[in-house]
Amino acid sequence: MTQDGYNHQGMAADAQRIQVRGLGKTFILHNQGGTRLPVLQAIDFDAAAGECLVLAGSSGAGKSTLLRCLYGNYLATEGSIRIRDNDAWVELTRAPEQRILQLRREVIGYVSQFLHVIPRVSTLDVVAEPLQQRGASADEARERAAVLLARLQVPGRLWSLPPATFSGGEQQRVNIARGLIGGHPVLLLDEPTASLDAGNRAVVVALIREALAEGRCLVGIFHDEAVREAVATRLLPLHPPAVLEAAPAGKLAAVAG
């Protein structure tokens, strides 16, 4: 145990990017008479630069919920989430909104299962935006966006169009390019290959390995076993809290993910 009270599990202190201790998340179902639905309980882990920590567990184990807690979308009910921002540790569970937004711009990237973008913005600018937010010029960001879109086999004829009308697989590739481009030290991945064919899955695996070689810290959900084995450096098993075993499956799946 170190002076800050955290057991660093053999990791070099300057390599750590995430520290989670005693994390719990309980949803209150107000339309169900205030029923309390615990989804995460007593979650502990560290994650470091160059790691791809894969969340493993059955549907309803709270994998997506954990990612959303790490991104600050969900406020943890209990416990601690610390994110490293350069030389400072930020306690995410107590950080004000502006600090969380700053972490998203500069530290934590996120690839969700679905692409949410402003209508009528071109695909090239949708992908380039996170890099511009980190200080790159518009030209530099668009050049990098073009490289990523080409690698992910998004046809050039689509780059000037808004991605809202693209196929599911095309939107997912745009989403992946947008998540990777910013070079965030921490990257959260929620089923990034779910809508992709084998060829594009291989491209994403290569991009993830490159991100790890750059020293980025990845935490992700990968239901595709081959992809999981190709990218995971470590697994974090998650299990539904015991009280959930009697909960209706539909209710759990809708909340926990």
Q: What is the 3-state secondary structure (H, E, C) of 118-187?
A: CCCCCHHHHHHHHHHHCCCCHHHHHHHHHHHHHHCCCCHHHCCCCHHHCCHHHHHHHHHHHHHHCCCCEE
Q: Give me the pLDDT at residue 56, please.
A: 94
Contact (Cβ atoms closer than 8 angstroms) between residue 106 and residue 127:
no
CA 222 – CA 67 distance, rounded (Å):
12
Q: Give me the pLDDT at residue 13, please.
A: 63
What homologous superfamily does CATH list for 50-73+105-237? Answer: P-loop containing nucleotide triphosphate hydrolases (3.40.50.300)
Mean pLDDT of 125-152: 95
The residues spanned by each domain of the chain are 50-73+105-237
* 216 three-state secondary structure: coil
DSSP per-residue letters across 17-69: EEEEEEEEEEEEEGGGTTEEEEEEEEEEEEEETT-EEEEE--TTSSHHHHHHH
pLDDT range class, residue 243, cuts 50, 70, 90: low
Mean pLDDT of 192-209: 93
Q: Which residues of 123-144 are buried (b: 16+ CB within 10 A; e: fewer)?
A: bbbbbbbbbbeeebeeeebbeb
Mean pLDDT of 177-192: 94
Mean pLDDT of 111-138: 88
Q: Give me the pLDDT at residue 246, please.
A: 39
156 pLDDT higher than 80 = yes
CA 6 – CA 212 distance, rounded (Å):
24
pLDDT range class, residue 199, cuts 50, 70, 90: very high
Contact (Cβ atoms closer than 8 angstroms) between residue 36 and residue 53:
no
**117 or 143, which is more confident?**
143
Instruction: Write down the pTM of the prediction.
Output: 0.85
CA 101 – CA 145 distance, rounded (Å):
22
